[in-house]
């Protein structure tokens, strides 16, 4: 007869196995989406070609460069796919699991590729331009540099590397901000929830072979607001810096998972740097509480970004949207002291600099300090 302890042990084991199975299925779905990039992207090109072929002959003659441009788009997609194959082939080291080997074969347990997944892959390609190309330097400088400068000012670097200050970067994306902080001599960890981003970050941080060795066309999926046809197929090279270019004693890592679940140890981090992150929460107040909890007494929270609230208009998703003035009040209510604050720091996010449509944010940028004595 099974005892209560045995039943609880079996239930716990079953729960862990179910969770691992779900994670495995999710990883397979994302890998399958990556591997279907070319098919999905080419379908869009084919739609444009079909529309052109339906035009009257007199209109076709007025657009002699239209089909040659589509040929260049196809070639650019092929180039992107070559990079994607490198990315997916390197991802097998992330998870030791035989189920990952034949993901190119459609299988019943892998859900169909969704437009949502594919849009995230398109965004990841643009994220490469932002984080790891020389073309992205201007955008990086507008939002990463203020954070890095503030980290240095609040936590002066210890040249001896004997007592590295611990800096956490939630929502790290492809890891450039966390990489730059670690390169300065801090112990830095990036945290990312998106498996699509993590797979790409793993490649660029751990598998890239040098400087500007990979060619990418980040704007090839933008069919509108192009001033010039060549802008759509503009090529860039990545990475603009060797990702092996870290000090010998550097301490840099990336952690996968939900920020609220991964970090549970209180009073641990000297600094938490958030860039375009806090508005990714279902409930932004949970993020604020977690940041306060895991910061050391006297630790700093440095933030730059807008309040887009990613789940605000997403059907079936819960979302709390509050103004900055209300958010600021809560920050103070939790016990933080605001040391530095600007509400008009202009920056963009994965913006195509050649597009006729430009999105620009007037971001809030602040530095808060957790009191040395907990006043909550």
The CATH number that domain 4-369 falls under is 3.40.50.150
- Among 156-165, 182-191, 207-216, 241-250, whose mean pLDDT is lowest? 156-165
Q: Above 50 in pLDDT, residue 246?
A: yes
pLDDT digits (tens, 9 = 90+) for 184-232: 999 999 999 999 999 999 999 999 989 999 999 999 999 999 999 999 9
Residue 343 is given by DSSP the state: E
Quote the tokens at residue 254: 């990336």
**What 3-state class would DSSP assign to 83?**
helix
- The secondary structure element, H or E, covering residue 203 is helix 195-206
Given this model, what pLDDT does residue 162 score?
A: 62
**146: exposed, middle or buried (Cβ count in 10 Å: 0-12, 13-18, 19+):** buried
Distance, CA of 42 to CA of 48 (rounded, Å):
10
Per-residue pLDDT for 112 more than 80?
A: no
The answer for 161, left when phi > 0, alpha when psi is -120 to 50, beta otherwise, is: left
* Type and span of the H or E element at 280: none
How far CA 297 is from CA of 170, 181, 232, 371, 375, in Å, comes to: 19, 21, 49, 6, 11
Tokens read off for 261: 């679940």
Q: What's the CA gap between 224 and 226, in Å, rounded?
A: 6
Task: Give the Cα separation of 315 and 317 in Å (integer).
Answer: 6
3-12, 124-133, 318-327, 348-357: least confidently modelled range: 3-12
Residue percentage of the chain with pLDDT more than 90: 80
In the DSSP assignment, the letter for residue 226 is B
Is the predicted pLDDT of residue 247 greater than 90, yes or no? no
The residue to which tokens 């605001």 are assigned: 338
Please tell me the predicted confidence (pLDDT) of residue 102: 47
133 pLDDT more than 80: yes
Q: How high is the pLDDT of residue 106? A: 40
Would you say residue 283 has pLDDT above 70?
yes
14 falls in which pLDDT band (50, 70, 90)?
low
Q: What sign has the CA pseudo-torsion 170, 173, 175, 176?
A: negative
pLDDT exceeds cutoff 60 at 95: no
Spatial neighbors of 302 by CB under 8 A, at least 6 apart, are: 147, 150, 151, 154, 271, 272, 273, 274, 366, 367, 368
Q: Per-residue confidence at 5, pLDDT binned at 50, 70, 90? A: low
Per DSSP, 18 falls in state: H
pLDDT higher than threshold 90 for residue 118? yes
- What pLDDT digit, counting tens, does each position of 33-76 carry? 999 999 999 999 999 999 999 999 999 999 999 999 999 999 99
Is residue 103 predicted with pLDDT exceeding 70? no
pTM of the full structure: 0.90
The pLDDT of 141-165, averaged and rounded, is 88
Q: Is 323 helix (H, G, I), strand (E, B) or coil?
A: coil
Q: Where are the domains of the chain?
A: 4-369
């Amino acid at each position: 007869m099974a005892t209560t302890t045995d039943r609880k042990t079996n239930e716990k084991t079953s729960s862990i196995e179910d969770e691992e199975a779900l994670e495995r299925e999710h990883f397979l779905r994302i890998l399958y989406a990556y591997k279907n990039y070319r098919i999905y992207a080419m379908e869009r090109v084919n739609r444009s070609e079909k529309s052109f072929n339906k035009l009257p002959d007199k209109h076709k003659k007025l657009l002699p460069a239209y089909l040659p441009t589509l040929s260049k788009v196809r070639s650019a997609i092929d180039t992107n796919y070559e990079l994607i194959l490198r990315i997916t082939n390197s991802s097998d080291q992330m998870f030791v699991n035989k189920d990952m080997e034949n993901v190119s074969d459609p299988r019943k347990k892998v859900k169909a590729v969704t437009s949502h997944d594919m849009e995230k892959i398109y965004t990841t390609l643009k994220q490469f331009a932002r984080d790891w190309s020389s073309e992205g330097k201007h955008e990086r400088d507008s939002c990463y540099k203020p954070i890095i400068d503030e980290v240095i000012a609040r936590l002066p670097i210890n040249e001896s590397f004997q007592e590295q200050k611990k800096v956490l970067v939630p929502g790290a994306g492809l890891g450039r901000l966390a990489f730059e902080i670690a390169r300065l001599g801090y112990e830095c960890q990036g945290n990312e929830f998106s498996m699509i981003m993590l797979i790409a970050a793993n490649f660029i941080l751990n598998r890239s072979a040098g400087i500007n060795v990979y060619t990418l066309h980040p704007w090839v999926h933008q069919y509108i607001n192009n001033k010039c046809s060549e802008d759509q197929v503009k090529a860039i090279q990545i990475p603009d810096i060797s990702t092996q270019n870290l000090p010998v004693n550097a301490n840099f890592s990336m952690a996968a998972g939900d920020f609220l679940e991964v970090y549970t140890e209180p009073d641990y981090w000297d600094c938490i740097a958030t860039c375009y992150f806090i508005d990714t929460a279902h409930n932004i107040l949970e993020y604020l509480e977690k940041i306060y909890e895991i910061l050391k007494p006297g630790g700093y929270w440095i933030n730059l970004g807008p309040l887009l609230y990613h789940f605000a208009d997403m059907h079936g998703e819960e979302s709390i949207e509050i103004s900055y003035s209300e958010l600021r009040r809560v920050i103070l209510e939790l016990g933080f002291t605001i040391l530095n604050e600007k509400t008009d720091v202009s920056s963009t996010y994965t913006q195509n600099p050649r597009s006729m449509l430009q999105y620009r944010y007037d971001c809030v940028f602040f530095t808060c300090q957790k009191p040395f004595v907990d006043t909550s």
